[in-house]
Amino acid sequence: MNFIRNLIHKADRSSLYVILLSCTGIGVFLYMNKWSYLHLTTADWVMVYTMLGAALILDYFTFQIPPKGNQQSMDSSVYLACIFMFGGAFSLSVLLPVSIILLIKERKLTWWKHIVNFSIYSLMITGAAAVFEWTGGQSGTLDGYNLIPYFAALAAYFIINTITLGLFFHFSTKDALQQMKRAFVTESLLVYLCTLILALVLTILVVHNGVLGLLLYLSLSILLSHAFKQLFVMYQTIEEKANTDQRTGLFNHSYFESMLENELTTARTQGTPLCLGLIDIDDFKKYNDRFGHLQGDSLLALLGIF
């Protein structure tokens, strides 16, 4: 009964956090955006549509980061570039239509998750824009002699993402610190650094080359996304070969040791029981001697299926 109460209490805290996060994100968006759509010129609308299309294209070309396969995309570079070029309010103006289009397009994802994603992005963009201005950054042309505001904006963007999602793990699971370390700190840091570089590249290309610069940027980002995809496929292939016995097709002893260690860690941290069953095949050597090792491998593969 205590276990059930803990689960219910955990679920209540998680739901309350989602509601609080959504209200905060929407409130911050309304305050920072200040209905800027009513004051956009024709040239501004063209740029909004252009950045909107770039964000949607990069969101489509998502990729996975080894070893756990967490999904990433380069769309954050568009929002950061909008901050560097036009300010936080303009970046939020791009975020809203992107979120609406994704809500209509990705119907398999529940509506409240779309709201949570929109709220987190609103907080990340707002925080990055505030830190960018606070550290002396000026929207417009790229200041190559003072890169501190750009790195500070990225740090704020990354930290807000880590904290908001980390708190969700904290309220929904027990191994929150491990989840944060695996999903954000260890595996995503390199991707965020790439995102900053791409945002700076996008800023330079758009300021000096307009639409042509944006097309060049999209080509570069798509190629990078494809390269990350190929890297993950190669990692999966190598991992599969390293953990699989080539003769039987079953997982080998190294894989068993790794999985056993993970299960033991989970059982200790969550306080759950763990059971291990062992099976011995009597007179297997006699079977090998009579029918040959190939038939013996086939027998092991057959028993492994069951």
pLDDT tens readout for residues 261-278: 877 877 777 778 888 877
pLDDT tens readout for residues 134-148: 999 888 877 777 889
- Tell which wins on pLDDT, 7 or 212: 212
- Tell which wins on pLDDT, 28 or 71: 28
What average pLDDT does the structure give for the chain? 79
pLDDT at 22: 92
pLDDT at 69: 53
pLDDT tens readout for residues 293-306: 777 777 777 776 66
Whether residue 2 is predicted with pLDDT greater than 60 in this model: the reply is no
- Tell which wins on pLDDT, 211 or 190: 211
Residue 43, classified by CB atoms within 10 Å of its CB into exposed (0-12), middle (13-18) or buried (19+), is: exposed
pLDDT tens readout for residues 90-110: 999 999 999 999 999 888 888
pLDDT at 3: 40
Whether residue 75 is predicted with pLDDT greater than 80 in this model: the reply is yes
Mean pLDDT of the 124-153 span:
89
pLDDT above 70: percentage of residues in the chain: 82
pLDDT at 174: 54
pLDDT category, 184, cuts 50, 70, 90? low
pLDDT category, 1, cuts 50, 70, 90? very low
Query: Which of 101, 196, 189, 181 is closest to 148 using CA atoms?
Result: 196
| Residue 41: strand pairing partners | none
pLDDT category, 24, cuts 50, 70, 90? very high
DSSP string, the chain: -HHHHHHHHHHHHHHHHHHHHHHHHHHHHHHHHTTGGGG--HHHHHHHHHHHHHHHHHHHS-EEETTTTEEE-SHHHHHHHHHHHH-HHHHHHHHHHHHHHHHHH-TTS-HHHHHHHHHHHHHHHHHHHHHHHHTT--SSS--TT--HHHHHHHHHHHHHHHHHHHHHHHHH-S-HHHHHIIIIIIHHHHHHHHHHHHHHHHHHHHHHHTHHHHHHHHHHHHHHHHHHHHHHHHHHHHHHHHHB-TTT-SB-HHHHHHHHHHHHHHHHHHT----------TTHHHHHHHH-HHHHHHHHHHHHH-
pLDDT at 125: 95
- Tell which wins on pLDDT, 110 or 13: 110
